[in-house]
Amino acid sequence: MRADRHGGAGAPATPAPAWWRRAVVYQVYIRSFADASGDGIGDIAGIQSRLAYLRDLGVDALWVNPWYPSPMVDGGYDVADYRAIDPLFGALDDARRLIEEAHAHGLRVLGDIVPNHTSSEHAWFREALASAPGSAARDRYVFRDGRGPRGEEAPNNWPSVFGGRAWTRAASPHRHPAQWYLHLFDPGQPDLNWENAEVRAEFESIVRFWLDLGLDGFRIDVAHGLAKDAALPDLAAGADPWTPADDHPFWGQDGTHDVYRAWRRIAEASGSDRVFIGEIGPMGPDGQARLARYLRPDELHQAFNFDFLRSPWDALKLRSVIDATLAPLVEVGAPATWVLSNHDVVRHVTRYGRAYSGLEIWEPWVERQATELALGTRRARAAILLMLALPGAAYVYQGEELGLWEVEDLPEELLQDPTWERSGHEYRGRDGCRVPIPWSGTAPPFGFGKTGTVPWLPQPAEWGRVAVEIQAGAAGSMLELYRAALRLRRGHPGLAGEELRWLPSPAGTLLFERAAGLRCAVNLSEGPWELPPATTVILASDPPADGLLAPDAAAWYVRQPASSAVRHTLREERS
């Protein structure tokens, strides 16, 4: 039986809320977490060797980015076989052992399923290429004749997320004019046809396969993709290609909801608390309401909240994102999620160190600006305390607990993100947030792999001073801040429920109350409170004995009544 920190023997008669409603999930970008094999690429054995670290950090689950056999044109989001493990990462038995051992540590394990597209090396796509237009093999994908007299123009004007158009003309082994196939991402990622019953059945079987192996659920890649408008109409002139809208032909189509209803039934039938988290969005101006439609009780359990991640460091904007997140979820009964970083965006220490600290779009191919890392780090400290004080689930991207910043000077010849080539070298892409993380030692690979290992992306020399080994036990370090905040979140009754009540507070600040009198106060910049700028204070009447966080480091956790300075500055708001 699992050594479960979430219930089990001695649990109260009233069932506790499902674990995922307030879980903290740690994102393991497998290629860059820990390399046990010595080839410079992280692997499953590496993750296994660091499970005690994750348990001690205080997270509830890990989500592992795709580990399937893949040509790796998009970091594994081009899957060639959904029921196996890429030899780079290990074998199926390693995955099974990882799951078992994680469970023994009280950690759940979520996989990453990629249903919008396969790899062009998937057996289905090879078969499709070798088959005639109109064949059953081609119907699993989105093949179409081209426009123009000889079919030499793409079937419509859809763009690829990675740059260029979303169509590639397939060489034809037949006498017919060659057809085009759809790929919303790289040409190595052909889109599946979700109208096809075989596609639906296959993915239901894949989901069952991994749940049977022991996974606790899935993060679903491009979960608002999948279904397309069957007529494949052109995008209207001037339409925003990236933001779902009612008439958007490839994002947010209604047909996708049925897919998730079927998956939810599989989860429920598996007899335990399995969970599906959609990577959905960003969803546009009325986005949170649109998002909630995926979270109806018979669909997905959660969806990432990209609006929070994209928000600039601004009190009004953050508050409006928090409100817009929570309100529509009440109707569907789903918990909110909060996230600051992932493997697709500029690390938030860097974003917060910029004059404009938001993201206009969720990908990192935004203009580069000067970065003040000290400011970004300070804001990041305040932001994580805010995030972990909010009701719902939270997602932590590997390395953010070390305060890692974006690596912006990777040599061009090492860049691997397909965006780099597809944008004609205009956008460097996402490699800068995917650099292997530092564990120990004074020189690369900083314990990421054995001494002498050359990591697949070079680590900055300065990462020696932020390695896990240096920060562990060091008062005021980012790592100790995360550990303390996660302990507080796990242990304090004020953070257990889902309610949040705003209290009046001056411009440039946020102040809200949770249960049991717990309050969270955030001073975003130079403000009226006598607190340093970019400071979050958690006030609680009954903190655990070890609850005081470094008072010089943008974060306090104080007894109530608070220390005199804080009491003085917050007096008005409390009355």
Q: Is 519 helix (H, G, I), strand (E, B) or coil?
A: strand
In which residue are the tokens 């893949």 written?
Answer: 70
Radius of gyration of the chain measured on its C-alpha atoms: 24
For the four alpha carbons of 482, 485, 491 and 497, in that order, the dihedral sign comes to negative
Q: How far is the CB of 458 from ligand NOJ (least distance, A)?
A: 21
Q: How far is the CB of 188 from ligand NOJ (least distance, A)?
A: 11
Q: Do residues 396 and 25 lie in contact, with contact meaning Cβ atoms separated by under 8 Å?
A: yes
Q: Do residues 537 and 512 lie in contact, with contact meaning Cβ atoms separated by under 8 Å?
A: no
Note the helical H segments in 216-314: 255-269, 287-292, 306-310
Give CA–CA dist 429/415, Å, rounded: 8
Q: State the helix-helix crossing angle for 197-213 and 255-269, rounded to 10 degrees.
A: 30
Q: How far is the CB of 56 from ligand NOJ (least distance, A)?
A: 27
DSSP letter at 459 equals P
CB of 77 or CB of 439, closer to ligand NOJ? 77
Q: In residues, how long is the chain? A: 575
Q: How far is the CB of 63 from ligand NOJ (least distance, A)?
A: 11
Helix (H) or strand (E) holding 538: strand 535-540
Q: How far is the CB of 415 from ligand NOJ (least distance, A)?
A: 14
List residues near ligand NOJ by CB under 6 A. 74, 77, 114, 185, 221-222, 279, 343-344
CB of 94 or CB of 344, closer to ligand NOJ? 344
For ligand NOJ, which residue has the nearest CB?
A: 77
Q: What order do you get walking across the sheet with 217-220 strand by strand?
A: 302-303, 275-278, 217-220, 108-113, 61-64, 24-28, 393-397, 337-339
For the four alpha carbons of 219, 107, 40 and 439, in that order, the dihedral sign comes to positive
Q: How far is the CB of 279 from ligand NOJ (least distance, A)?
A: 6
CB of 185 or CB of 420, closer to ligand NOJ? 185
Q: How far is the CB of 346 from ligand NOJ (least distance, A)?
A: 14
Give CA–CA dist 181/295, Å, rounded: 31
CB of 422 or CB of 514, closer to ligand NOJ? 422
Q: How far is the CB of 143 from ligand NOJ (least distance, A)?
A: 20
CB of 74 or CB of 400, closer to ligand NOJ? 74
CB of 248 or CB of 378, closer to ligand NOJ? 248
Q: How far is the CB of 114 from ligand NOJ (least distance, A)?
A: 6
CB of 77 or CB of 181, closer to ligand NOJ? 77
Q: Do residues 183 and 114 lie in contact, with contact meaning Cβ atoms separated by under 8 Å?
A: no
Give CA–CA dist 330/532, Å, rounded: 35
CB of 279 or CB of 401, closer to ligand NOJ? 279
